[in-house]
């Protein structure tokens, strides 16, 4: 693995900034959803906050990308209007670290859908653990907290893993990522398929 080049840094910064703006919008949607479903439904959207690090990691495939992407997204979310700067930065760090650790477990070599789903789940679990201490999730009844954890893990797998992979592969099919790890891998498979 080599260090990041300027093109990779620009793509990470751009995608993370876009997601940072979306994260702020999703906060309001999540508050409405949680108001309807109660605290047990609080985990339903948590995986959306893992899209920046996972998409960037799938595209770039280098150590540190997931954590950097999530921190850039967190900084962007603060700059566009989040009122909870300290919490946002802490969650950005823990979520990014959770996803990063999962990629590190696979030595930054395997980026299959199951690994991406595990990374999404690790990031959402880091979110739940962080909020457990910040917002006192320990006060919830055990069944409510268990449901929160289950919905968060499912959200991490679906939004963080599956949706992130789908979006990354949609981008790669356009040809805009041909100079990145995912684009090169995609082109190689495409050539092998046409040769056979």
1 part of a folded domain: no
177 part of a folded domain: yes
Helix (H, G, I), strand (E, B) or coil at 193: helix
Give the per-residue pLDDT at 196.
Answer: 74
Give the per-residue pLDDT at 114.
Answer: 98
The number of folded domains in the chain is: 1
67 part of a folded domain: yes
101 part of a folded domain: yes
Rounded Cα distance between 134 and 100, Å, is 22
Q: 88-142 pLDDT, tens per residue?
A: 999 999 999 999 999 999 999 999 999 999 999 999 999 999 999 999 888 999 9
pTM: 0.94
Q: 26-83 pLDDT, tens per residue?
A: 999 999 999 999 887 889 999 999 999 999 999 999 999 999 999 999 999 999 998 8
Rounded Cα distance between 59 and 183, Å, is 7
Contact 11, 72 (CB under 8 A): no
Domain containing residue 76: 6-195
Q: How far is CA 148 from CA 45, 81, 106, 190, in A?
A: 11, 27, 27, 41
Cβ neighbourhood burial of 132 (10 Å; 0-12, 13-18, 19+): middle
Looking up tokens 């409405």 gives 32
């Amino acid at each position: 693995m080599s260090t990041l080049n300027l093109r990779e840094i620009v793509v990470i910064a751009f995608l993370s900034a876009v997601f940072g703006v979306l994260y702020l919008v999703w906060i309001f949607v999540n508050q409405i959803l949680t108001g309807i479903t109660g605290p047990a439904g609080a985990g339903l959207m948590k995986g959306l906050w893992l899209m920046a690090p996972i998409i960037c990691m799938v595209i770039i495939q280098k150590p540190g990308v997931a954590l950097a992407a999530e921190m850039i997204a967190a900084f962007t979310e603060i700059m566009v209007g989040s009122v909870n700067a300290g919490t946002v930065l802490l969650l950005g760090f823990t979520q990014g670290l959770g996803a990063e650790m999962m990629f590190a477990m696979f030595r930054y070599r395997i980026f299959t859908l199951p690994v991406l789903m595990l990374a999404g789940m690790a990031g959402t679990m880091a979110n739940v653990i962080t909020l457990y201490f910040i917002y006192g999730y320990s006060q919830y009844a055990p069944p409510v907290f268990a449901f929160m954890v289950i919905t968060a893990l499912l959200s991490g797998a679906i939004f963080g893993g599956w949706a992130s992979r789908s979006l990354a592969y949609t981008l790669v099919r356009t040809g805009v990522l041909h100079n990145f790890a995912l684009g090169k891998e995609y082109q190689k498979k495409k050539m092998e398929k046409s040769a056979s």
